[in-house]
A and B are shown apart, each in its own frame.
Chain A
Amino acid sequence: MNEVLQGRDASPRRPGCGSGGRLGEASLPAPAPEGAGAPGFALTRNGHGSLLELSIGPQHPSTHGVFRMDVALDGERVVGLKPVFGYLHRNHEKIGENTTYLGSMPYTDRLDYFCSLTNNWAYALTVEKLAGLQPPPRAEYIRIITAELTRLQNHASLVGFLLQDMGAMGTPLMYAFREREKVLDLFESLTGARMMCNYMRFGGCRCDLPPGWLEQAKEVVDGFPRFLDELEALLSENEILLSRTQGVGVLPRELAVSAGITGPMLRASGVNYDIRKVDQYGIYDRFAFRVPMGDHGDVYDRYMIRVLEMRESLKILEAALRDIPEGPIVDPKAKLRGFRPKAGEVYGRIEAPKGELGFYLISDGSPQPYRYRVRPPSFINLTVLEDMCRGRHVADVVIILGSVDIVMGEVDR
């Protein structure tokens, strides 16, 4: 049942541009051996002359937030790269341990502020596992619809930002934001907020769909393939995009698994692992969708995976908008006030647009969690940034980072 879409027949690979790219396979350094980790800079001499240490960021438009990379350059070539973060650190986990379970829900919006609804869902799902709550079917459908809409707008904006990083100034990003705007309008009429939705509750959702919302959502979903077709016609076979992305930032399959990479980035490296299929949380087992996978693990595959995932999300959305039942939206057992789960611990995870978003909670029976931990996908996906960038040019670093898809609110927490 786990139907897999290996690459794509029509994928316009330039001849002789397998995984090697412009530099050729031989000139790329071998992937780091197991356990070697990231070696430190040899910032003195490497036999070719002295190295230049360049600090990119934190205030740089291509770093997607306050993120810094200490790059060691041999000429134009990257020989070492150390990501530096924490500029946005506010100790989200400590705040979560000092407030009630429900009190953390609005804070989860601020983790990955592009995808507040999936953050809400991951947290709600974990607490439901801890307290033994079961959301009613209508709430499950609403969760799937909002999560897939979130995935659509996240991937659309990521593609826009990636092209902006490549030098396609403005236009693709504005096209993507036009589509994102329609999805945000839906979120606004449902939750009252465009980005900080704070919508899920333990055992269900905060409020029911407003009248006419489903029809509006259908309109957005029906119009989306046209945007994707247009985007692909302009970009997917664009010569500049191909030459900038193919063979750039290759992430080998073994390294991707060992480094705990998740989400579209993992699947672009050819690993068939989608938590929607593996865990089948919520009611994902009721929907037919395919898991797109890449062959090469380069930036182009990561771009393409996102485009294909948007098409699969549209299938889920069409089915969910058609089949959503009437009924209650909250488990009657759920308590809004005086919520004290029994002592114990739980780890819950979902397939967020950026990868595996997990929450780990330890309850000691009090109204506040003893331990509240967020497993942030974009933070862990940065582990291999150095491995992907070594041997490439500075201009490639920018698009490799762009293809990882990070949001600093989640990386720094």
Chain B
Amino acid sequence: MALKLDELKPRVEAAVPGAALQIVPNPIPGGQPSLLVDNAHALEVARFLRDDPALRLDYASNVTGVDWLDTVLQEKHKVKQVVEGVEREIEETTEVKRPGYLEVVYHLYSMELKHGPLVLRLRTGNRTDQVSVPSLTPVWRGAEFQEREVYDLYGVVFDGHPDLRRILMWEGFKDYPMRKDYVEPDDYEYEPTPHDEVMEKAKGHYPAQHGV
């Protein structure tokens, strides 16, 4: 049983004054929209969602990251223009640059009341220097390893996490492999009869022999 966000949003706003909430639509049929919370009030909102007797979202099932690159969105507007003395509506396309950001998505359920999911989203400022969001591990212990994984693979820094270290990659690993612009290391090994991708790599390594 999914929760209705339009009813929920005013209640959260009343309980956590100053929280900036936004409903992110999900276009697929029957899709579950999600609740975008600002970083400053995320912890308070999370505590409210967990402790409110009608919600009791005591179980953070899935915590994960999403990488959104810088994109150019095309927005269509209808503009009134006077063409040859007659006012007409004309569709104009404007290009809007959307700077990239990293997103952390929480899927919350209630084990007590057996409802859910509620999808909670947090966003970082950008993908380079403002990559921190508050950790929700103090509210749901189940987020501990999963937030570590998001830190490890996406590079999101969780403020207030008790033990923020890499978890799947080794210590000392530099990059964040799940980011969309991650470049794999060049792990070329010599092959006597290279072809396709290996051939392309070989050309870089043995330019004089054209890769052979």
Binding site for B on A (CB under 8 A): 34-40, 85-86, 89, 91, 93-94, 129-130, 132, 255, 257-262, 271, 273, 278, 341-347, 349, 356, 358, 360, 362-363, 370-371, 373, 375, 379-380, 382-384, 412-413
Chain A contacts for B119, CB-based, 8 A = 347
Contact of B138 among A34, A91, A371, A379 (CB under 8 A): A34
Quick check: is B31 within 8 A (CB to CB) of the other chain?
Answer: yes
Quick check: is B177 within 8 A (CB to CB) of the other chain?
Answer: yes
B22-30, B78-86, B196-204: which lies at the interface: B22-30
A271 and B113 CA atoms in complex are apart in Å by 12
Quick check: is B141 within 8 A (CB to CB) of the other chain?
Answer: yes
Question: Do A347 and B163 touch across chains, with their CB atoms under 8 A apart?
Answer: no
How far is the CB of A352 from the nearest CB of chain B, in Å? 13
How far is the CB of B16 from the nearest CB of chain A, in Å? 18
A347 and B121 CA atoms in complex are apart in Å by 14
Question: Do A40 and B163 touch across chains, with their CB atoms under 8 A apart?
Answer: yes
Q: Is the interface of B mostly helix, strand, loop or mixed?
A: loop
Quick check: is B126 within 8 A (CB to CB) of the other chain?
Answer: no
Chain B contacts for A39, CB-based, 8 A = 162
Chain A contacts for B32, CB-based, 8 A = 345-347
Question: Do A38 and B169 touch across chains, with their CB atoms under 8 A apart?
Answer: no
A280 and B26 CA atoms in complex are apart in Å by 23
- Which partner residue on chain A sits nearest B68 by CB separation? A370
CB under 8 Å from chain A, chain B span 144-175: 144-146, 153, 161-163, 166-170
B6-14, B57-65, B90-98, B185-193: which lies at the interface: B57-65
Question: Do B111 and A37 touch across chains, with their CB atoms under 8 A apart?
Answer: no
A258 and B139 CA atoms in complex are apart in Å by 8
Chain B contacts for A384, CB-based, 8 A = 141
20 residue pairs A–B, Cβ–Cβ below 8 Å:
A86-B168, A86-B170, A89-B169, A91-B178, A93-B153, A132-B28, A255-B141, A257-B111, A259-B141, A259-B142, A261-B142, A278-B114, A347-B107, A347-B119, A370-B66, A371-B66, A375-B61, A375-B107, A383-B142, A383-B145
Binding site for A on B (CB under 8 A): 26-32, 34, 58-62, 64, 66, 105, 107, 111-112, 114, 117, 119, 137-146, 153, 161-163, 166-170, 177-178, 182
Question: Do A35 and B138 touch across chains, with their CB atoms under 8 A apart?
Answer: yes
Chain B contacts for A91, CB-based, 8 A = 153, 177-178
Chain A contacts for B140, CB-based, 8 A = 258-260
Question: Do A345 and B31 touch across chains, with their CB atoms under 8 A apart?
Answer: yes
Question: Do B29 and A260 touch across chains, with their CB atoms under 8 A apart?
Answer: no
Chain A contacts for B107, CB-based, 8 A = 347, 358, 360, 375
A404 and B30 CA atoms in complex are apart in Å by 35
A375 and B106 CA atoms in complex are apart in Å by 11
Counted as pairs of residues, one from A and one from B, with CB atoms less than 8 Å apart, the total is 122
A225 and B168 CA atoms in complex are apart in Å by 41
- Which partner residue on chain A sits nearest B117 by CB separation? A347
Q: Is the interface of A mostly helix, strand, loop or mixed?
A: mixed
Give the 3 A-B CB pairs with smallest separation, nearest first.
A260-B142, A37-B162, A344-B28
Assuming the contacts A36-B162, A38-B162, A383-B141, asked whether A257 and B178 have C-beta atoms less than 8 A apart, the reply is no
Question: Do A271 and B64 touch across chains, with their CB atoms under 8 A apart?
Answer: no
Chain B contacts for A37, CB-based, 8 A = 137-138, 141, 144, 161-163
Question: Do B27 and A342 touch across chains, with their CB atoms under 8 A apart?
Answer: yes
Question: Do A273 and B111 touch across chains, with their CB atoms under 8 A apart?
Answer: yes
- Which partner residue on chain B sits nearest A371 by CB separation? B66
A133 and B6 CA atoms in complex are apart in Å by 28
Question: Do B168 and A85 touch across chains, with their CB atoms under 8 A apart?
Answer: yes
- Which partner residue on chain A sits nearest B105 by CB separation? A360
Chain A contacts for B137, CB-based, 8 A = 35, 37
Question: Do A358 and B31 touch across chains, with their CB atoms under 8 A apart?
Answer: no
Assuming the contacts A38-B162, A89-B168, A373-B64, asked whether A345 and B26 have C-beta atoms less than 8 A apart, the reply is yes
Question: Do A362 and B141 touch across chains, with their CB atoms under 8 A apart?
Answer: no
- Which partner residue on chain A sits nearest B152 by CB separation? A86
How far is the CB of A357 from the nearest CB of chain B, in Å? 11
A166 and B119 CA atoms in complex are apart in Å by 42
Question: Do A85 and B167 touch across chains, with their CB atoms under 8 A apart?
Answer: yes
Question: Do B145 and A382 touch across chains, with their CB atoms under 8 A apart?
Answer: yes
Chain B contacts for A412, CB-based, 8 A = 168
Chain A contacts for B62, CB-based, 8 A = 347, 358, 360, 373, 375
A109 and B162 CA atoms in complex are apart in Å by 34
Chain A contacts for B143, CB-based, 8 A = 260
Question: Do B142 and A346 touch across chains, with their CB atoms under 8 A apart?
Answer: no
Chain B contacts for A278, CB-based, 8 A = 114
Chain B contacts for A413, CB-based, 8 A = 168
How far is the CB of B149 from the nearest CB of chain A, in Å? 8
Question: Do A260 and B178 touch across chains, with their CB atoms under 8 A apart?
Answer: no
How far is the CB of A336 from the nearest CB of chain B, in Å? 21
A120 and B111 CA atoms in complex are apart in Å by 25
Question: Do A346 and B28 touch across chains, with their CB atoms under 8 A apart?
Answer: yes
A349 and B144 CA atoms in complex are apart in Å by 20
Chain A contacts for B27, CB-based, 8 A = 342-344
- Which partner residue on chain A sits nearest B142 by CB separation? A260
How far is the CB of A40 from the nearest CB of chain B, in Å? 7
A349 and B117 CA atoms in complex are apart in Å by 11
Question: Do B146 and A380 touch across chains, with their CB atoms under 8 A apart?
Answer: yes
A370 and B71 CA atoms in complex are apart in Å by 14
How far is the CB of A191 from the nearest CB of chain B, in Å? 28
Give 20 A-B pairs besides A94-B178, A342-B28 with Cβ atoms closer than 8 angstroms.
Answer: A37-B141, A89-B168, A91-B153, A93-B178, A130-B28, A132-B29, A258-B58, A258-B59, A258-B141, A260-B60, A262-B61, A271-B111, A273-B114, A278-B114, A347-B117, A360-B62, A360-B105, A360-B107, A371-B64, A383-B144
